[in-house]
Amino acid sequence: MKIKNFDFKRFKDWSLEREKKTLDFLNGKGDSNVFLIEPVGCNFVICQTPQESLECQLEAITRQMDFGGNYMPFLEPWFGVGVYANAFGAEYVWEEGTPPQTHYIAYSAEEADRIEAVENYDCEAMNLVTSAIDYFLTETKGFIPISCTDTQSPFDTATLIWDSSDFFISMFEAPEVVHRVLDKITRLLIDFSKKQIDLLGETWTKPGHIMASAKNGHGFAISDDNIVMLSPEDYLNFSVPYNNKISKEFGGLAVHSCGNYERQLPALMQTEGLLMVDGAFMTKNVDPTPNLDYKLFKDTFKNSNVILKTRMNQNWQEPFKEIYHPDMRMILQVPPPPPDQSKETNRELLKRIIG
């Protein structure tokens, strides 16, 4: 959608109630312990320029306004998952019809120990992110909330820089090098996130990325997808300490991971300042290897005050019943009903389950 065709006045009026509802829920003041969101569009579009990205995201926001629901959309300067890897010298590779990829630059602990980040955030990916923020702000005049870019955890980023086979071996053979690399990534991640936040000003919505977010929200979102490849002990040793540093810097953490991370759940819950955890809980159209031990998640999150964000498909009712407990705080993310059903279908079904 061309910027000139986007209805900013409609968005301003439409978003006021949704921003308030989202913030109330995040602050524990909502009228229910379950917050239903039905996103229509997607921020993670395959775009190589800020203009392309903004036009695609404005189209998604317009579709969301047409549908309604609770979901409060926002813009994201998304240009792949390798932003921080690129800053350490990993090449950004664009191929037709796919998000950008990165290539390893280190194949041994000795090589990895020598990596250094660029100065002044001067690399392709970071320049794209800051340019997009500037472009989004200029074109929207600050009317639409904007999050920081998709922030891969230090551990995830390390495996985009350093050959993953050698990286995992080095966790046992050269752990001191692994920790030095993770510390370098963490410091850059914090610094560049602060740079983005300064640029965003009052439009900054948090925690960001795929989480329910609001301009006066809390914390910071990271993606920690490699959690599924570690033992709980290694996750506590090599990932959690660096995530904790990010959490301390930004007032809490919201953690997303793809795949089935059930065995790491106790370790994940030891993250300091943990605010929200996102996961997939059904296979079709959600994740090929979702979390399926629903009782484990129920027992872990009830009475914890940590929000569990559950991504499910259109047949969500039975799995939700197995996970849900009245003493949990949950975000239920499901697709909107099909066109031949009422827009209120999911909301009505949810009310029957939780009362």
Identify the residue whose tokens are 């484990």: 296
CA 119 to chain centroid, in Å, comes to 26
Residues 99, 48: Cα–Cα separation, whole Å:
9
Q: What is the pLDDT of residues 282-321, one digit of tens each?
A: 999 899 999 999 999 999 999 999 999 999 999 999 999 9
Does 42 score more than 80 pLDDT? no
- Alpha helix positions (H), the chain: 8-26, 50-67, 83-87, 109-112, 124-140, 154-161, 164-173, 175-200, 232-238, 240-250, 265-268, 294-301, 317-323, 345-354
Mapped onto helix, strand or coil, the DSSP state of residue 331 is strand
Q: Percent of the chain having pLDDT more than 70?
A: 100
CATH of the domain at 250: 3.20.20.210
Average pLDDT over residues 251-277: 96
**Chain-centroid distance, C-alpha 29:** 23
Beta bridge partners of 102: 92
Q: What is 228-278 written as a DSSP string?
A: GGS-HHHHHHHTHHHHHHHHHHHT-EEEE--S--GGGHHHHTTSTTEEEEE
Count structural domains, the chain. Answer: 1
Indicate the pTM of the whole model.
Answer: 0.95
Q: How far, in Å, CA of 112 to CA of 265, rounded? A: 29
Distances (CA, A) of 73 to 38, 117, 343: 10, 33, 18
Mean pLDDT for the chain? 95
pLDDT, tens digit, for every residue of 99-135?
A: 899 999 999 999 999 999 999 999 999 999 999 999 9
pLDDT of residue 30: 87
Q: How far apart are the first and last CA of the chain?
A: 40
Contact (Cβ atoms closer than 8 angstroms) between residue 199 and residue 127? no
* Reported confidence tier of residue 43, pLDDT bands at 50, 70, 90: low
Q: Is 20 left (phi over 0), alpha (psi -120 to 50) or beta?
A: alpha
Its domain, for residue 349, covers 3-354
pLDDT at 97: 79
